[in-house]
Amino acid sequence: MPDALRRLADRLDQAFATTDLAGRLRLLRDAFDGRVVFTTSFGLEDQALTHAIRSLGLEADFATLDTGRLFPETYDVWARTEEKYGFRVKAFHPDADALQALVADQGINGFYYGLDMRKACCGARKVEPLGRALSEAQGWIVGLRGDQSDHRANLRFVEFDAARGLIKASPLLDFSRDDVAAYCALHDVPINALHERGFLSIGCAPCTRAVKPGEPERAGRWWWESEDKKECGLHVGADGRLARAKMVG
């Protein structure tokens, strides 16, 4: 099965390179007879994908990770999105016992004091709930863009996620931020109000700040850490590195 999924990922990756957003999403949906999950954090890219998937009438499960530390503005755009498109985004919350143990061990804001503590927080609040969100899924749609960071520049449109045993697709990988913003403006897509205040990449409130002029797009995420550490664990492999599929051929 892994070999078959790798071959499928290669075929889809090649097809995505010459197909528009709608075509990419249709190709992905048609490739599976089972569950396809789109995980959204209600940022700019995810809002564009929400509009595209809903407008095309494609069958996909919408999931979000409600960490308990999100901005009020994120909950606001979540509500506006459900109202506009007439559906519910399923929330996956941290395990209560694991979260209680985490806070008891490191305090409510322990993530500021060490990389291991921050990764433990992301693990409890995001990575473990993601595992439940993707349970039994065959395909996973994400809003990654290649120009968001050096880490993401070498990703492929479609990859086999060996750790989770599924196909992971980034339909907006070759879009610029301006491309995505123009798409959202054209289609009157609900946008997080924080974007207009300099928050270009939005995660948990204690771990996100506005980006200063000239800073990279994701500089406001975990800003107290070195640049090569800035992934929460959702898009990394078991070795802690950003997951990249090996090229075939």
**Residues designated as active site:** 232
Cα separation, 111 vs 91, whole angstroms? 23
Let me know: does 133 contact 39? Beta carbons within 8 Å. yes
Burial of residue 236 (CB within 10 Å: 0-12, 13-18, 19+) is: middle
User: What CA–CA distances, in Å, run from 66 to 13, 72, 167, 214?
Assistant: 30, 12, 23, 30
Cα separation, 139 vs 166, whole angstroms? 6
- The stretches of the chain forming alpha helices (DSSP H) are 2-16, 21-30, 44-56, 72-85, 96-106, 115-122, 128-133, 177-186
